[in-house]
Structures are given as structure tokens and as C-alpha cells.
Structure 1
């Protein structure tokens, strides 16, 4: 009887493992096909779709584009001028109204398109900025210049919203930036705290990554971030994983209160032993979806800290900046970023990206929180 029980348990274990490790999952549907990597998609409720193109494969051109028509034409957004940065010829004034180094884009809860521009602070102090575009007029609504906050060495990475506040991760120093969207006041907090600084290099497809330019291991500090649907918690982590959380009331108060800012490390809680990942998204129930760059998986992190597998598929190579649309579909950009010219490749190749590049959809049966985006 005992042996039968053991065999039954073994059989179940092997069956589950077989589902986990299969190479293809038919639930993945192709949404967009590209000839250059994309590290982020976002959509509006009426069906407009935007992409952040990562020029890490030797291609040049627009950084932020809209996908237009059945033939999926990529159109510079909001226009060619914003996408025309040339470091050799453009001025400091140009850097204030062009994408110098766009790092993320997303439709916000106000229905505007928000673009995070890391900029180039060594030569252009106002190039580090958060830009809001009105999607009705396709014109700039407001620009928040953050060079004075990020300092010369900081690089903003991504943004999330919580009422009148925005939170941005900063990945070269390791910090969080709190921004008052009404006043424009901003402050860097948790600078070089253990929760914002990567303890290990990035990894993907089972390998630790080294920078092409230096040969050194690549560390990405504060990167992924989400706000709980009720606005109570801010979740964040470095690129190599290990997610923490903090109550947003402390972040918000720290914007103006020096004492609270100094005490913020006392309010940080470890939350989950997440892996090296490219991106995340959150749904209205507070489930966080994140990619596992080593296992080509998308996993679900519940509000109680437990994790489950959503999908594993060999095509999910470095899924970056996951997006959940109003049709309850995750948008998964298989960017292959680890195979790009940013990192050392086998046999001294400049990059090993296999084209075309795919953006996939998968139904998850959950909607995005209204706090996060329209």
C-alpha cells in the first residue's frame, strides 16, 4: 500500500514536471512581428498599441512607435522630431524635447502615454525626464525634468502611478524617485539601500551576463516595480530579483519630510525570492506577473507571496516590461535582450538575436487595476 502511494505521488510529480518543461504552449498568440527588439508594449482601451524599440541589434531609428493598421506599420510617436536625437549635433535645448535614451513607455491611469527618458546626464542635464502625451491631441501635456534629482550618475528606468504620485526606479545608483505629479517636486530615496541594489548580475538562459563594453558582470539595480490595486504597497526589485515592498504612505511622506526619508529603510519588507527578470505587471486582484529570464517562464506572484506558473515556452526569451490590457491579455515582448550587442556573446559575435522578434498575447482572465492604467 505504501509503495503504491509512493508510485502515485511520483507519477503525479512527473506529470506536473512534464507540463512545466514543454517547449511550446498553444495559449501564446502572436500579436506583433518586428525586425528590431522591443522592450515594452502598452495599449489603450480603444485598441491603440505602442512599443518601445530597443536599438541593441545594430539598427537605428525611432525609439517610441505606434503600431498602425492591419499591416502593423510602425509610426514614430508622437512624430519624427521627438525620435530624431543625434548626440553629435543636437544641443542641450534639443535634449529637452527629444528622446535621448527612452527606457520605457506606458499608458497611464489618465489615458495619456507616459515615456521615461533616461537621457544622458553627463552632457545634457535636462535630458532625464518623464513626458506625458495627450493621446487625443498627440501633443505634449507635461514634462517633468529629473536631472537635478537623479544627479549626474542616476538613470531612471520605469514608472508607476498612485494618485497624484509617481514612483520611478533608478537603476545605475540603485534608488527610488518619488514624484508629485501636481507640483513637480521629486526626491530620490532608498539610495543604495540593500533592497534597491543588485546582489548578483543579470542572468538569462542560464548564464550570468557581462557588458560588451567592459567585459564586467552587468548589474542592474532598482528596476521592476508595481503598486498594489488599493495603493497601499509599492513593490520593487533589482534586475536580478529579490522583491521588496514598502507602504506608499511612507514614500509619499518622505518626499517632503527629511525624518521620514531617513527612516525609510526601517519600513522596507522582503516580499519574495523572485529570479532575474525583464519585466512585471499587476492585475486588479493584486497578482504580479513576472518573467523568469533563465527558464523562459511567466510566473504569478499572489498578494500572500506564493508563486505559481502561468506559462513556460522556449520562445519567451527575455520578456521585458509586461503589459496587461483591458481584454485581460498579457502582452509579452520576447526581446532577446541578453543576445544583443549590449552583452558579451559567444565566439565574440556582436549579437546573436534571431529575427523576427515577436510580441505575444496570453489570456489570464484578470483585468488591470484602474490605479495602474486606463
Structure 2
């Protein structure tokens, strides 16, 4: 089962209103509505000068949506880029258009990187759309100003065998690391050489753990028919030494990139260097800061939980409207942005009519220097 279908299944009804918390460094922090959207967003990313982009999944037949939107200077959201990339419809081949964006991220070069899974939910759109057409599954790099396509990466069946599904990506230097949440695995692509490796394919450490499944399935109507996705969440430390990943169910693993990048090391030898770090609560997404803290967007608890390198954890934010929080992003000015995949009622200071037309919110949290005894850092930009 794909991540998007599983996350949709575990969603619970949203409570209305926004709870305010005191700005104290040992209590949950306040949420600010950064942007409202008429379309459900599962990813958010910002350039160094705070131009905001939303990744927008196709989640229903009767709710047309672009795949990528950019916030304009007047605060409005427009499909980006403004051409056929957002015009895909069932039946099109999807080579030169977005089919289903599952990741949108911005790194040191300020360009927009998108992971297009190239397929849709069989439960919603039918089995014929659950398998990507040739070339539809891809990584696309865009200029954030003009929308020009700078690069498209496609991989053959040695890298993406049938059933593989690219999920999210991170960079360090010229190397790109991508999770495969379909079969389970890590892709390593070197932009400088064009060489790509498929690592840990189908190994236990890239598979979803059954540890949390009973609690998760308790939230799903007819949940016994659902199966959690495999390696999904991905982060890399600021120095590029450690790559972290997890299924939404956990656990969180890590490995030194020197082993991951060593093609002379067989997968079973590589697996011996993988470390189990933490049993996270079921999470739709995460972020890492420059000090190595991981911020989990927890689905069932409705918390944003920070995990320090020491192993200490703290609830950074907690609110009844944090329903199905997903792929978060840490901006250059140290704000954590979290898209919410459930409609959120307007707060006291918001225009109710406008909010009804744009029911999906992305929150932001201003990060203090320290929280609950944990020193917090800035963004990891891949440089």
C-alpha cells in the first residue's frame, strides 16, 4: 500500500479552532497559520527569501487540484509552473507533466526539487492508474522564479523495479538520496557522475515495522486490509555523515553515508553498519535541523515531537488541529512549516468566508534557540 493511501486511512476528524500556548521553552509552542490553501497539501518548501511552494496530492475524483503551487507576493496561491505540467489528467502518459507529487524540497541552490511517483491510488482512481506508465515516475528540478525545467531524472528497472515507488529525497554535495516506500530501499544518485545505486533493497531495515500496526489499525475503518508503506521519511545530517530514514510506523534507522556510497560493499555487508535509532510514533513526515534534531509530524498523537541526538524527546507543539500533519520544512529564518491534510476551521482573527474557500492550512512555528533543554539549529541545506 502507498504512503498516501495509508495516511488518508488513519486520518481522524478535525477539531475546530486553534489552541494557543504560552511561548515558554519547555511547553508546547504556538502555531501560526502561514498559508491557507483551497487544495490539500502534503509538502511545503521555501526559498532562502521565503518564496513558499506547496506540494498538492491528487486525492479525490471530485476535487481537481494542481500538483504544485507557489505563493505570490499578494499571498495568493497559483499553480506552478504555469503550463502543462499541472494539466495532467487520467489517461495522459505523464512523462512531461506531474501525476502525483509526493515530495517538494528546496536545498542550498534554491531550486525546487519534486518527486513525482507517477501513479495514483487504486482505491480512488482505479487499478489502471496504480502502476506508473513508462517515464511517469521521475525527479524534476525547477527554477523557482521562471518555472523552467532544469533537470528531469528517470531511472530504469535496475534502480526502480516493478513495485518500487520513490518517496522523498535529500542532498549532500552532489549526491542525492531517495527513499523507496514501495519495495523498501535507498537510491543514491551522484549528479556529478550520473551513476545511481540501489541499496538495501527489501532488507528488514527498510521495511515497515509491525510494532505500531495494531494501534494504527484501531483508527482505520476496515483497517485489516491496509498495509503500511516501507522506507519513507529521510534526513541527512548537516555534515553529510549520517543518512536517517524510517517507515511512518518506525523505527528510525541511520547509516554512515561512506558505507552507503561504497558500491564495493554488498547489501548484506552494508546492513551490518545500519543502526536502529528510535521507535517513533506513527508519523507522516519529518525534518532535521543543523544540530541533528529530528522533528516528527505525528499522526495519531497530533504532536510535533523533537528527538535530540542524545535520545531526549520533547513535544514541540500539540494541538487538536494537527490532524494528519505531513512533510515539514525548516526555513532559513528558523521557522518550522507543517502542512495539515485535514480542513481547519478559521481562527478568531481570520475571515470565515475566505477560510471556507481555503480550508487547508500550513502552520509555522518559530523555533527558539533552546527547547526543553535541547539546543535547536537551523536548516540542513545539503551543502
Q: TM-score, normalised by structure 2?
A: 0.79
Deviation at 1:303, TM superposition (A): 1.2
Separation in structure 1 between the aligned mates of residue 262 and residue 252 of structure 2, nearest angstrom: 22
Q: For each residue in 1:34-88, what CA deviation from the matched residue of structure 2 results, as whole angstroms up to 9, or x when unmatched?
A: 2221101110121210001123244112111111133x32212122311111232
Equivalent of residue 328 in structure 2, options 322, 333, 338: 322
What is the SS of the residue equivalent to 1:38? Answer: coil
Equivalent residues of 1:229, 1:370 under 8 A apart: yes
| 2:49 alignment partner in structure 1 | 46
Separation in structure 2 between the aligned mates of residue 201 and residue 317 of structure 1, nearest angstrom: 22
**Where does the alignment leave 5 or more consecutive residues of structure 2 unmatched?**
1-17, 22-29, 120-129, 344-356, 369-375
Separation in structure 1 between the aligned mates of residue 224 and residue 46 of structure 2, nearest angstrom: 37
| 1:82 alignment partner in structure 2 | 85
| 1:217 alignment partner in structure 2 | 226
| 1:292 alignment partner in structure 2 | 298
Equivalent residues of 2:290, 2:377 under 8 A apart: yes
**Where does the alignment leave 5 or more consecutive residues of structure 1 unmatched?**
1-22, 338-353
Equivalent residues of 1:40, 1:321 under 8 A apart: yes
What is the SS of the residue equivalent to 1:126? Answer: coil
| 1:336 alignment partner in structure 2 | 342
What is the SS of the residue equivalent to 2:204? Answer: coil
Separation in structure 2 between the aligned mates of residue 202 and residue 35 of structure 1, nearest angstrom: 33
Q: Tell me: CA distance 1:155–1:105, structure 2 relative to 1, closer, same or farther (3 Å).
A: same
Query: Counterparts in 2 of 1:1-374, with a 5 A limit?
Result: 24-26=19-21, 27-57=30-60, 58-70=62-74, 72-88=75-91, 90-91=92-93, 95-120=94-119, 122=131, 124-148=133-157, 149-200=159-210, 207-208=217-218, 216-254=225-263, 257=264, 259-336=265-342, 356-365=359-368, 366-372=376-382
Equivalent residues of 2:55, 2:69 under 8 A apart: yes
Greater radius of gyration (CA): 1
Equivalent residues of 1:325, 1:367 under 8 A apart: no
Separation in structure 1 between the aligned mates of residue 105 and residue 211 of structure 2, nearest angstrom: 26
Separation in structure 2 between the aligned mates of residue 166 and residue 160 of structure 1, nearest angstrom: 6
Q: TM-score, normalised by structure 1?
A: 0.80
| 1:347 alignment partner in structure 2 | none
* Higher RCO structure, 1 or 2 (CA under 8 Å, sep 6+): 2
Separation in structure 1 between the aligned mates of residue 212 and residue 335 of structure 2, nearest angstrom: 27
Q: Tell me: CA distance 1:202–1:106, structure 2 relative to 1, closer, same or farther (3 Å).
A: farther
Q: Which has the higher strand share?
A: 1
Return 51-60 or 194-203, whichever deviates more: 194-203
What is the SS of the residue equivalent to 1:264? Answer: helix
Q: Tell me: CA distance 1:284–1:191, structure 2 relative to 1, closer, same or farther (3 Å).
A: same
Separation in structure 2 between the aligned mates of residue 154 and residue 201 of structure 1, nearest angstrom: 23
What is the SS of the residue equivalent to 2:50? Answer: coil
Equivalent residues of 2:67, 2:99 under 8 A apart: no
Q: For each residue in 1:299-357, what CA deviation from the matched residue of structure 2 results, as whole angstroms up to 9, or x when unmatched?
A: 111112221121111111111011111111110111139xxxxxxxxxxxxxxxx9711
Deviation at 1:369, TM superposition (A): 3.8
Separation in structure 2 between the aligned mates of residue 303 and residue 239 of structure 1, nearest angstrom: 19
